[in-house]
Amino acid sequence: MKKILSLVLAAAMLLTLMPLAMAEGTTDWEPFAENVSITIPVYDRGQAGVPNVEGNYWTEWIQKNFGDKYNITVNYVAIPRTDVMTKYSMLAAAEDLPTILMEYDYPKVTQWAADGYLTEFDMDEFAKVAPTYYNRMVEMNQLTYTKINGDTYFVAAYRPYYDTSYTFQSFVRMDWLRQVGYDHVPVTTSEYNDAMQKIMDAGIAAHPAGGVMVTGVGSDQNYQWRTWPLDEKEWAMYGDYNIPALGWEPNYRLLKNENHKYNIGMTNPEYYLTGTEDEKTNFINGETYQYGAYISASMDWLTAFYEANPDAELAIVPVNGKIDAEYGTTPGYRTDNPFGMMVGFSSFATEDQIKAAWMYMEWLTQPENLFTFQWGIEGENFNYDEEGLPQTDSNYNGEYKMGFSNNKDYWCVTIEARQAGTIEDVIANNLPHDLPQDFTQDIIDWYYDKVAVRDAGWAIANALYSVSMESEAEYQTTLTNLYKEYRDKLTMCSEEEFDALYAQYAQEYLDAGYQAVIDERAEAYEAGNSTHLLNQTATEVDLNK
Amino acid sequence: MQKNKTKTRRERTSWKKALSRDWHLYLMLLVPVLLVVIFNYASYPGLRMAFMDYKPAKGYAGSKWVGWDTFAKVFRDRDFTRALKNSLVFNLLDLVVSFPMPIILALMLNELRFPRFKKVTQTVLYLPHFLSWVIIGSVAYQLFKPTTGIVNVLFMNWGWIQQGIPFLTEKWHWAATYLLIGVWQGMGWGTIIYLAAITGISGELYEAAMIDGATRLQRIWHITLPGIRSTIVILLIMNLGKIMGSNYERLDVFGNTQVKDFQYQLAIYIYEKGLASSKFSMATAVGLFQSLVGLILVLASDRFAKALGEDGLL
């Protein structure tokens, strides 16, 4: 009974989104006469304690329950999470691309299309083979993102709560804040800087703000530093996630603040040598104020933190609803794209292989298959609670052990999050409950605050282009590497030198290719080949903090 | 008589006879020869990529020929100039600093008279060669970070310094540290060839010199060094061929944004601008350029060595 209730809950959202689905579907498929072999990419995150990504119980489970039924051999190929593009390049050079190519970042998949890695296809044919998947795209208005230069190259996975994502949370030392007279967590820049200064003055931590080396791609997101109302053309030219906007006013203001923080000692002087694992260790060791990570039912680092700091009190950083009068920062934030993985199909694949890949995606989208793949085996990976909702056993380590984040790197081909029950249930299921503090209610509140801020108009989606951007493909790697170098020099120079150095590096950055990038984006925007800003009437929100 | 001479010549050059007599040696040789053929020569057709706008998904047949365009683009690139300059300077410095060390070390090891101590010393000196650069790099950062590195912490605790020495975070300090770690990693292994060459020197020469009253230094200078001179020249020529090369792994593990002015060398350029950006044509063009310059240097230095009366390499 509990299982039935759970399945009903798990399927509820999918079913409401796909009224036309299931009429046709997996039952119509005939097994292939000749065996068809397909290859699916799966991220290798280099994490200890997870099964081999290319072969484990769950890859065999797919083969047994899907592959064998339709005479399809399903293979998996590991893609290093930190070096996706190089790995795909190598596979393409060896003419060994996987049948499916998928990535979260739109510029990456458009580059694949431009480089000939992907094949065009007929969306109507896809709809016949994978009606559930297709109808969900229709319901979520995702078809607009499936074309480049007028040709269909992609299908889009579903990302629940894409503009109010709650899954990444920053945890801070509330006990330190109380020691320096704060009864709440600072959310504005001026309050944050003030609190850090007081923590340093009190001798609690030498460099409380910590800091990690910048990676270039996605570094220094400046959404809260932008001036409202946003200018749509500027947003289209500079407001990108992948190539940092050195030379744009919001980036200047952000880096000026970083420079100040470094010069007064708030930032770790060795931040540019500090990786994320070191930063996590610094937080666990009680050396830094804040650490952020994705929430999950098993958060080993939080367990380690409480073991090392039994008297510590943590809090999550609340949503900001106010404009900071001193620094001009706003509640502006970046929303995810309105899709999860963008999925394309190899130009080396045969028609049968592409059809088999579509079948694989459709089969995984069926609620009963997806549920097992996301939650595992009852009594092993999860158990039902009193309300009939599945609860993951975060300590499970047996033969059915799942891959990173409950097999997410496999089922991300169709959906980006596990769904079981209401948002409250989902959050509760994605948090550990055996720690000295329970953050469930805090994160539920955080989610509703985020909804309020979004509704007030502060959500900023990045511009997406329906034409391939050749200059991005040409200059992205150069610019992101150059940004890392300039950014650290700008952070570490004296405050007096900053403005002159910023102007010099901004010009060099333009000359190195950024000018070509922003020119091409402006051209695409003016030709009507980009998305648009949705809401510009942002107002402050009283979140009753 | 003439007939006998011909027969003798034929017997000497008969590959069948040589093969049947030394077949086991040829069989052993087959493995390295195959490795060289597969990994060095079989890839040669791929060099055409340098003259094409190569797109992996389109293959050679579908990619356009662009002539020298890729080379022109590379040579106009400021980053290439920077990488080339750094590669040349650091490889020359590496040669100056690293090349003599194995010779000096081999001479010193050769003078050790207590066999067990000599073997232990040799083994200890060889060990760094077997450590990967990733391990060496991470250990180096743990030792030499400016504020939390063990060396700087100790120096500060002992009152020797007020501020940490930026061994790996300031470009000039980095250059010295990078080169010296290279010396440490390679010098032990580099002694093997010299020690082997030293064993080929006749012991009678040393005995005669000792009878004549030569000191140990005089024996080294007048017997050992001349005895290994041809080996030194050959290795020098081979090292000159590497003057355009660079070791990506070594550069990457010691890299950080504060030292990019020096750390940005051709291997980094090829990886960042070529492979990571799917620009295989550019990566191949730079690789081909490196190889050609290396080949020219080897040939030139070989000719120079021969002009000085040495055997040379070829």
Q: Is A541 a member of any domain?
A: no
Hey, what are A113's tokens? 């299309």
ipTM: 0.81
3-class secondary-structure state, position A482 = helix
In a mutational test of the A interface, the residue from B78, B165, B257, B268 whose CB has the highest number of chain A CBs within 10 Å is B257
Count the Cβ atoms, other than its own, within 10 Å of residue B3: 7
What are residue A345's DSSP bridge partners? A100
Residues of A in contact with B276 (CB under 8 A): 83, 85-86, 89, 477
Q: How far apart are the C-alpha atoms of B140 and B177, rounded to whole Å? A: 9
Q: Decide if B145 and A269 are in contact by the 8 Å CB cutoff.
A: no
Q: Is residue B189 predicted with pLDDT exceeding 70?
A: yes
With a pLDDT cut of 90, the percent of chain A lying above it is 72
User: Do both A391 and A255 map to the same domain?
Assistant: no
pLDDT at B111 over 60: yes
> What number is the average pLDDT over the span A339-351?
96
In a domain, A427, yes or no: no
How far is B237 from B312, CA to CA, in rounded Å? 8
Domain co-membership, A390 together with A242: no
Q: Are residues A374 and A267 in the same domain?
A: no
| Longest pairwise C-alpha distance within chain B | 89
B152 assigned to some structural domain: yes
Average pLDDT over residues A294-298: 84
Are A476 and B276 an interchain contact pair (Cβ–Cβ within 8 Å)?
no
Q: Please check whether residue A545 lies inside any domain of the structure.
A: no
In a domain, B291, yes or no: yes
pLDDT reading at B5 higher than 70: no
Placement of tokens 């002694």 in the chain: B191
Asked if residue A535 belongs to a domain, the reply is no
Tell whether A177 and A261 lie within a shared domain. Answer: yes
Q: Render A121-144 in DSSP notation, one character per residue.
A: --HHHHHHH-HHHHHHHHHTT-GG
Q: Is residue B204 part of a domain?
A: yes
Q: Kindly indicate the confidence band of residue B174, based on its pLDDT and cuts at 50, 70 and 90.
A: very high
Tell me if A257 is assigned to some domain.
yes
Q: For chain A, give the mean pLDDT.
A: 90
Same domain for A14 and A156?
Answer: yes
Q: A238: alpha, beta or left, given left = phi > 0 and alpha = psi -120 to 50?
A: alpha
Contacts B59 to A, Cβ<8 Å: 95
pLDDT surpassing 70 at residue A18: no
pLDDT at residue A16 in the model:
42
* Distance from C-alpha of A530 to C-alpha of A232, rounded to nearest angstrom: 11
Chain A contact probe: residue of B163, B254, B278 with most A CBs at under 10 A: B278
Mean pLDDT of A313-322: 94
Closest CB to A89: pick one of B79, B256, B275.
B275
Over residues B221-241, mean pLDDT: 91
Q: Contact B257/A116, CB-based, under 8 Å?
A: no
Which pLDDT score, from 0 to 100, does residue A544 have? 58
Is residue A37 domain-resident?
Answer: yes
Looking at the complex, report in whole angstroms how far the Cα of residue A263 sits from the nearest Cα belonging to chain B. Answer: 16
Give the pLDDT confidence score for residue A49 in this predicted structure: 80
| Co-location of A60 and A202 in the same domain | no
CA dist A328 → A238, A275, A332, A535, B72 (Å)? 19, 30, 11, 20, 47
CB A256 within 8 A of CB A519: no
pLDDT confidence of A15, banded at 50, 70, 90? very low
Average pLDDT over residues B291-298: 90
The pair of three-digit structure tokens given for residue B52, joined into one six-digit string: 């094409």
Mean pLDDT in residue range A449-470: 91
User: What pLDDT does A10 receive?
Assistant: 46
Task: Name the percent of chain A in helix, strand, coil, to the closest 5.
Answer: 45, 10, 45
User: Average pLDDT in the B237-250 region?
Assistant: 87
The answer to whether residue B7 sits within a structural domain is: no
Chain B positions in Cβ-Cβ contact with residue A473 (cut-off 8 Å): 277
pLDDT for residue A268: 95
Cα separation, B101 vs B95, whole angstroms:
10
In this prediction, residues A372-376 reach a mean pLDDT of 95
Distance CA A249, CA A121 (A): 42
A272 contacts on B by Cβ (under 8 Å): 169, 256-258
B85 plus B206 within the same structural domain: yes
Q: Which residues in chain A have Cβ-Cβ distances shorter than 8 Å to B258? A: 272, 488-489, 492
Asked if A213 reaches chain B (Cβ–Cβ under 8 Å), the answer is: yes
Most confident range (mean pLDDT) of A47-56, A91-100, A497-506 is A497-506
- Give φ, ψ of A523 to 5 degrees: -65, -45
- Option in A213, A270, A485 nearest B147 (CB): A270
B308 vs B169, higher pLDDT: B169
Residue A540 predicted with pLDDT over 60: yes
One domain for residues A516 and A395: no
Q: For residue range A443-453, what is the model confidence (pLDDT) as tens digits?
A: 999 999 999 99
**A326-330, B4-8, B75-79, B152-156: which range is least confident on average?**
B4-8
Q: Do residues B56 and B122 share a domain?
A: no
CB B190 within 8 A of CB B238: no
pLDDT at B305: 84
Residue A314 bridge partners (DSSP): A173
CA distances from B253 to A158, B98, B178, B263 (A): 39, 19, 10, 10
Whether residues B147 and A269 touch (CB distance < 8 A) is answered with yes
Checking if the pLDDT of B228 tops 80, the result is yes
Name the average pLDDT for chain B. 90
The rounded distance, in Å, linking the Cα atoms of B19 and A486 is 63
Q: Is residue B44 part of a domain?
A: yes
Does the beta carbon of A115 lie under 8 angstroms from any beta carbon of chain B? yes
Q: pLDDT band at residue A19, thresholds of 50, 70 and 90?
A: very low
Structural domains in chain A (count):
2
Does residue A2 register a pLDDT over 80? no
- CB distance B275–A348 less than 8 Å? no
Indicate whether B73 and B83 sit together in one domain: yes
pLDDT at B188: 92
In chain A, which residue's Cα lies nearest the Cα of B53? A115
The beta-carbon neighbor of B276 closest among A86, A272, A487 is A86
Cα nearest neighbour of A476 on chain B: B277
pLDDT score for B1? 45
- Give residue A9's pLDDT: 45
A-chain residue closest to B168, CA distance = A273
Q: What is the mean pLDDT of residues B149-168?
A: 94
Q: What is the mean pLDDT of residues A30-55?
A: 93
Query: Are B107 and B210 within one domain?
Result: yes
pLDDT band for position B11 (cuts 50, 70, 90): low
Residues B188 and B292 in one domain: yes
Same-domain pairing of B119 and B265: yes
A277 in contact with B, Cβ within 8 Å: no
End-to-end CA distance of chain B: 36
Please check whether residues B63 and B84 belong to one and the same domain: no
For residues B23 and B143, membership in a common domain is answered with no
| Residue A293, in any domain of the structure | yes
Residues 6+ apart with CB under 8 A from B1: none
Quote the tokens at residue A437.
């503090």
Output the domain CATH number for residue B302: 1.10.3720.10
Q: Which range scores top for mean pLDDT: A445-454, B56-65, B268-277?
A: A445-454
Give yes or no: residues A219 and A321 share one domain.
yes
Strand partners, A169: A293
Does a structural domain hold residue A441? yes
Q: Domain of A89?
A: 2-160+342-415
Q: In b/e form, how buried is each residue of B175-210, taking b as 16+ CB within 10 angstroms?
A: bebbbebbbebbbbebbebbbebbeeeeeeeeeebe
Of all residues in chain B, the percent with pLDDT exceeding 70 is: 96
Residues B205 and B80 in one domain: yes
State residue A83's pLDDT score: 84
| Residue given tokens 């469930």 in the structure block | A440
Residues B129 and B20 in one domain: no
* B291 and B142 in a common domain: yes
Domain that holds residue B43: 15-67
- Condensed to tens digits (0 to 9), the pLDDT of residues A227-243 reads 988 999 999 999 888 89
B307: pLDDT strictly greater than 90: no
CATH assignment at residue A520: 3.40.190.10
Residues paired with residue B307 on neighbouring β-strands, in sequence order:
none
Query: In the prediction, which pLDDT does B13 show?
Result: 63
* pLDDT value at residue A381: 92
Q: CB-based contact (8 Å) between A484 and chain B?
A: yes
Those residues of chain B whose CB sits closer than 8 Å to some CB in chain A are 55-59, 62, 79, 141, 145-148, 169, 256-258, 260, 272-273, 275-278, 280
Indicate if A77 and A180 belong to the same structural domain: no
- Which chain A residues contact residue B141 at CB under 8 A? 273
Task: State percent of chain B over pLDDT 90.
Answer: 67
B180 and B44 in a common domain:
no
Same domain for A453 and A498, yes or no, is yes
The verdict on whether omega for the bond into residue A229 sits within 30 degrees of 0, i.e. cis, is: yes
The better pLDDT of the pair B112, A22 is held by: B112
Residue A108 has pLDDT above 80, yes or no: yes
Q: What is the pLDDT of residue B18?
A: 85
| Ranges A307-316, B32-41, B56-65, most confident | A307-316
Q: Kindly state whether residue B268 falls inside one of the protein's structural domains.
A: yes
A115·B57 Cβ contact <8 A: yes
A200 and A333 assigned to the same domain: yes
A185 with A209, same domain: the answer is yes
The answer to whether residue B271 sits within a structural domain is: yes
Residue B155 lies in a domain: yes
CB A480 within 8 A of CB B272: no
| CA-based end-to-end distance of chain A | 42
* Residue contact B169–A273, C-beta within 8 A: yes
Residues of B in contact with A93 (CB under 8 A): 56, 280
- Count how many domains chain B has: 2
**What is the DSSP track for chain B?**
-HHHHHHHHHHHH-HHHHHHHSHHHHHHHHHHHHHHIIIIITTGGGGGGGGEE--TTTHHHHSEE-TTHHHHHHHH-HHHHHHHHHHHHHHHHHHHHHTHHHHHHHHHHHH---HHHHHHHHHHHHGGGGS-HHHHHHHHHHHH-TTTSHHHHHHHHTTS-SS---TTTSHHHHHHHHHHHHHHHHHHHHHHHHHHHHHTS-HHHHHHHHHTT--HHHHIIIIIHHHTHHHHHHHHHHHHTTTT---HHHHHHT--GGGHHHH--HHHHIIIIIITTT-HHHHHHHHHHHHHHHHHHHHHHHHHHHHTT-----
DSSP state of A5: H
